[in-house]
């Protein structure tokens, strides 16, 4: 659905309600970052080097092969740092600055909302962040936030393309092919040299990293550091749950935004119904129209399409225009 395909009555009723809404809760998922080009590693396509990505996101996987798990997360960190926040991230950040009682609960770990300038006090990370770290030692409580070093340790650097001998498509004497082979043996540049290799492809070789070269805790000097994300089988952060519960229970809610997520998994799914119970109308932004329609009432809105296109336009009556170069300036 493009903006012009939205029924005019839906657009007008939403923008009218948005402008008179003050207590707003947003629940965001991977679809928020779709326009930024990040892989979600969710669902049937969630494969990394022939591994189900979800199988690498467990404490058991880290205990069994911390090097492989760190290579997976180092790749994701690198991808996120090379992506840019899209207009949806900037629109939400600007809405937060317009409405002090607007709170975002995000399931994303990519850090793009933070880089778009979303106020930290109005954002809660349900699944943690790729850029947070914590020590795995039982006796150490070291944590670190917003570590954007890439690679986090030299051993986790994404491999680069090397010089390759290239056959000539025009020379029949063999001279150009011989020169190409000579250049490759001497390490001279080819067109692919210096380009990051796609290590999500199992056909691209990656080194076996010794455990002593993985990120180590600077405090205890003994425990391995791990990504500060919530893995399968782990509890969600209590502080985050308490803060969102308090916001929901404190007073009536005017508007609930569900952006880029099916909101099927609890406790995230429960917040939609809780907000509705507290008086909120619900607006769903989803690329999957069928997924988005679930559990909607006649008072709700479904906007089918890219949040990066829809949010800036539908929020415009309240937040105004985004800077033309917002996505490029991040």
Do the beta carbons of residue 248 and residue 274 sit within 8 Å?
Answer: yes
Measured between alpha carbons, how far is 190 from 256 in angstroms, rounded to an integer?
52
Do the beta carbons of residue 199 and residue 159 sit within 8 Å?
Answer: yes
∠ Cα 312 246 294 (to 5°): 50
Going from the C-alpha of 323 to that of each of 15, 81, 82, 86, 330, the distances in angstroms are 20, 21, 21, 12, 12
Task: Report which of 75, 88, 79, 74 is spatially closest to residue 34, judged by C-alpha positions.
Answer: 88
Measured between alpha carbons, how far is 195 from 223 in angstroms, rounded to an integer?
33
Q: By CB neighbour count within 10 A (0-12 exposed, 13-18 middle, 19+ buried), where does 103 fall?
A: buried
Q: Known catalytic residue: 127?
A: yes
Measured between alpha carbons, how far is 172 from 184 in angstroms, rounded to an integer?
20
Task: Report which of 183, 182, 189 is spatially closest to residue 161, judged by C-alpha positions.
Answer: 189
- Which residue in the list 89, 118, 127, 304 is annotated as catalytic? 127
123-125 vs 102-106, strand pairing mode: parallel
Measured between alpha carbons, how far is 45 from 144 in angstroms, rounded to an integer?
31
Residues that are catalytic: 127
């Amino acid at each position: 659905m493009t903006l012009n395909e939205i029924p005019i009555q839906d657009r007008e009723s939403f923008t009218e309600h948005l402008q008179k809404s003050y207590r707003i809760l947003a629940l965001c998922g991977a679809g928020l970052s779709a326009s930024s080009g990040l892989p979600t590693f969710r669902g049937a396509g969630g494969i990394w080097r022939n591994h189900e990505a979800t199988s690498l996101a467990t404490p058991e996987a880290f205990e069994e092969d911390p090097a492989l798990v760190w290579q997976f997360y180092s790749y994701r960190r690198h991808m996120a740092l090379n992506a840019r926040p899209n207009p949806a991230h900037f629109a939400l950040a600007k809405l937060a600055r317009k409405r002090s009682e607007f709170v975002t609960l995000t399931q994303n770990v990519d850090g793009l909302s933070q880089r778009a300038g979303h106020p930290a006090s109005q954002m809660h990370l349900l699944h943690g962040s790729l850029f947070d770290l914590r020590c795995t030692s039982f006796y150490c409580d070291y944590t670190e936030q917003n570590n954007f070093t890439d690679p986090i340790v030299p051993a986790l650097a994404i491999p680069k393309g090397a010089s390759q001998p290239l056959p000539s498509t025009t020379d029949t004497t063999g001279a150009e092919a011989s020169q190409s082979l000579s250049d490759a043996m001497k390490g001279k540049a080819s067109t692919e040299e210096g380009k990051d290799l796609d290590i999500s492809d199992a056909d691209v070789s990656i080194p076996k990293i010794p455990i002593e070269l993985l990120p180590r805790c600077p405090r205890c000097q003994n425990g391995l550091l791990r990504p500060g994300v919530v893995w399968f089988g782990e509890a969600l952060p209590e502080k985050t749950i308490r803060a969102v519960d308090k916001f929901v229970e404190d007073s009536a809610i005017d508007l609930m935004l569900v952006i880029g997520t099916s909101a099927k998994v609890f406790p995230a799914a429960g917040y939609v119904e809780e907000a509705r119970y507290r008086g909120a109308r619900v607006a769903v932004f989803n690329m999957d129209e069928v997924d988005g329609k679930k559990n909607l009432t006649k008072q709700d809105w479904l906007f089918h399409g890219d949040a990066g296109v829809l949010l800036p336009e539908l929020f415009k009556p309240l937040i105004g225009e985004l800077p033309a170069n917002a996505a490029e300036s991040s």
